[in-house]
């Protein structure tokens, strides 16, 4: 089991540098899975090296794609929407919730059966949210019943006829559920209309439209109407921009430890993903996107933290749509809140309880390790900031959750001695180069 030993960052040695983070994990999954449905080969560049995207890459091969590496890019020869191949073995989704939920929708209309499974953490994650609306479309999906929910392994299909379109208001703002239903809707008979309760990430809508899917978006409503559509999806190239969720750890490190300009280049700044920048601005740590440009259907910019950006952090409240737009960044924002003056409140974040770990509980436990006072609430946290002096060096158990391990490593820069973070292997699911990037900026982390 991997542990990180993190040294405090001396104030006289501010972090400095220019880093590239891996390609966005959410867009990477979509680039891979949607390329399977393309009638023409797709050249994918910028794909992240995390294990989660690797699961989607292997899955599409099991479903009939051929994947080649060509000069730093991968070229995916898809099967096309109508010609997926029946997998000869169950598909291992590892730790990746996005792989399992998106695949469930993707294969729901097929005449063959698919079995999807994952690791111990994935085997506890709720799947009813996808299975229930898919069943209304006529899909046949079975999973393991556990308590009030259904968990992996899942077996999907076969179905004899076609799926039916669906009119559905999503009970949670989940881009995974929305995408699973849109993928199923591609091969359904009749129109599908989905209404989201919050601003879930919209990478699927952007990419599917680019590929020729008959999809329209009107505010929180997404309609996919295949009547009169020839069923062809195609795209030549997808360039995956940098992952804002990975960049958030480096940005927070620059804010907390002090910096002399830290730049994360070519980051996806899709507004459904930049809630953390709005929270940081509200905490008096302005990080401005620079040189914003359009790239392959997503807005891209460089994120620059300037000297003194974190000198006077103040507490804030994260609630409502902002929580949705910053959902994966709550652990690292909580670490920033630990150094802000006042009490930061996180609300409307019950979804965090069903991520790779119960992130309300694991974030609270991580902060307490550093001597921070935290109140755990059903839907969030109240974090009492400790802006003055060093924090107590901690011994953190990351609970196999990559975002808890990285948030702890960042907060450890403000401690009064060496912090130990156990169970940090899963950092490799999203950001295998995290320690290297932190080291490049000037931090000291030993991996043991």
Q: Which of 405, 392, 283, 394 has the alpha carbon at shortest distance from 344?
A: 283
Round to whole Å and give the CA distance between 73 and 328. Answer: 27
**How far apart (Å, rounded) are the C-alpha atoms in residues 364 and 383?**
8
Q: Which of 30, 85, 90 is nearest to 57 (CA)?
A: 30
* Residue 426 C-beta: closest distance to ligand S3P, Å: 13
Neighbours of 308 (CB within 10 A): 13
Provide the edge-to-edge strand list for the sheet that holds 419-422: 395-397, 419-422, 4-6, 445-447
Looking at beta carbons, which residue is closest to ligand S3P? 26
Q: Which is nearer to ligand S3P, 33 or 411 (CB)?
A: 33
Give the binding site for ligand S3P (CB under 6 A). 26, 29, 98, 174-176, 179, 201, 327-328, 351
Q: Write down the least CB distance from residue 292 to ligand S3P, Å.
A: 22
Residue closer to ligand S3P (CB basis): 53 or 386 = 53
421 in helix, strand or coil?
strand
Separation of alpha carbons 434 and 425, rounded Å: 11
Whether residue 298 contacts residue 286, with contact meaning beta carbons closer than 8 Å, is answered with: no
Element (H, E) at 368: helix 359-369
Strands (E), 46-162: 66-70, 73-77, 91-92, 114-117, 141-146, 149-156
Rounded least distance, CB 351 to ligand S3P, Å: 6
Residue of 332, 173, 302 lying closest to 241 (CA atoms): 302
Name the residue nearer to ligand S3P (CB basis): 3 or 98: 98
Lay out the sheet containing 167-169: strands in order across.
167-169, 192-195, 221-224, 215-218
How is 182-251 classified by DSSP, letter by letter?
HHHHHTSBS-EEEE-SS----HHHHHHHHTT--EEEETTEEEE--TT-------SEEEPPB-HHHHHHHH
Considering the complex, state which of residue 29 and residue 55 has its C-beta at the smaller distance from ligand S3P. Answer: 29
To the query of whether residue 425 is one of the catalytic residues in this protein, the response is no
For residue 410, the minimal CB distance to ligand S3P (Å) is 18
Pick between residue 29 and residue 325 the one whose CB is nearest to ligand S3P: 29
Nearer of residues 194 and 304 to ligand S3P, judged by Cβ: 194
Peptide bond preceding 158: is omega within 30 degrees of 0, i.e. cis?
A: yes
User: What is the smallest separation between the CB atom of 264 and ligand S3P, expressed in angstroms?
Assistant: 18
C-alpha 37/C-alpha 17 separation (Å) is 40
The closest alpha carbon to 215, from 224, 204, 203, belongs to 224
Cβ proximity to ligand S3P: between 205 and 328 the closer is: 328
Which helix H or strand E contains 6, and what residues bound it?
strand 4-6
Using the structure block, give the residue that is written with the tokens 């020839």: 230
Nearer of residues 158 and 197 to ligand S3P, judged by Cβ: 197
Residues facing 218 on adjacent strands? 221
Q: In angstroms, give the least distance from the CB of 23 to ligand S3P.
A: 13
Q: Which of 92, 202, 239, 328 is catalytic?
A: 328
- In whole angstroms, how close is the CB of 86 to ligand S3P at the nearest point? 26
The least distance separating ligand S3P from the CB of residue 25, rounded to whole angstroms, comes to 7
Q: Which amino acids are annotated catalytic?
A: 328
């Amino acid at each position: 089991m991997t542990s990180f030993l993190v040294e405090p960052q001396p104030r006289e040695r501010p972090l400095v540098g220019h880093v590239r983070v891996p390609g966005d994990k959410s867009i990477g999954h979509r680039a891979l899975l949607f390329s399977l449905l393309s009638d023409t080969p797709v050249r994918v560049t910028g794909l992240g090296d995390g294990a989660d995207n690797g699961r989607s890459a292997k899955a599409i091969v099991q479903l009939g794609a051929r994947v080649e590496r060509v000069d730093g890019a991968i070229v995916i020869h898809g099967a096309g929407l109508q010609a997926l191949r029946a997998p000869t073995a169950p598909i291992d989704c590892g730790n990746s919730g996005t792989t399992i939920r998106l695949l469930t929708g993707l294969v729901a209309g097929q005449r063959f059966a698919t079995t999807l499974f994952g690791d111990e953490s994935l085997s506890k994650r709720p799947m009813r949210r996808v299975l229930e609306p898919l069943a209304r479309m006529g899909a046949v999906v079975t999973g393991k019943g556990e308590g009030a929910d259904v968990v992996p392994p899942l077996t999907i299909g076969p179905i004899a006829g076609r799926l039916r379109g669906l009119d559905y208001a999503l009970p949670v703002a989940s881009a995974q559920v929305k995408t699973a239903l849109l993928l199923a809707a591609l091969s359904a008979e009749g129109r599908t209309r989905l209404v989201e309760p919050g601003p879930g990430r919209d990478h699927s809508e952007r990419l599917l439209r680019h590929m020729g899917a008959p999809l329209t978006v009107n505010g929180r409503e997404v309609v996919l109407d295949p009547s009169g559509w020839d069923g062809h999806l195609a795209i030549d190239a997808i360039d995956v921009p940098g992952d804002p969720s990975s960049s958030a750890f480096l940005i927070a490190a620059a804010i907390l430890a002090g910096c002399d300009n830290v730049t994360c280049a070519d980051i996806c700044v899709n507004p459904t993903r930049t809630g953390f920048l709005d929270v940081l601005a509200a905490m008096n740590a302005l990080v401005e996107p620079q040189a914003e440009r359009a790239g392959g259907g997503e807005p891209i910019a460089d994120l620059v933290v300037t000297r003194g950006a974190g000198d006077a952090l103040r507490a804030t409240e994260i609630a409502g749509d902002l929580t949705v737009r910053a959902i994966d960044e709550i652990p690292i924002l909580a670490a920033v809140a630990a150094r802000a003056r006042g009490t930061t409140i996180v609300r409307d974040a019950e979804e965090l309880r069903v991520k790779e770990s119960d992130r309300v509980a694991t974030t609270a436990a991580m902060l307490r390790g550093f001597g921070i006072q935290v109140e755990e609430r059903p839907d969030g946290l109240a974090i009492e900031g400790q802006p003055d002096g060093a924090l107590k060096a901690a011994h953190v158990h990351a609970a196999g959750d990559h975002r808890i391990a990285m948030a702890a490593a960042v907060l450890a820069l403000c401690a009064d001695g060496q912090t130990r973070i156990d169970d940090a292997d899963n950092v490799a699911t999203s950001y295998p180069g995290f320690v290297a990037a932190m080291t490049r900026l000037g931090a000291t982390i030993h991996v043991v």
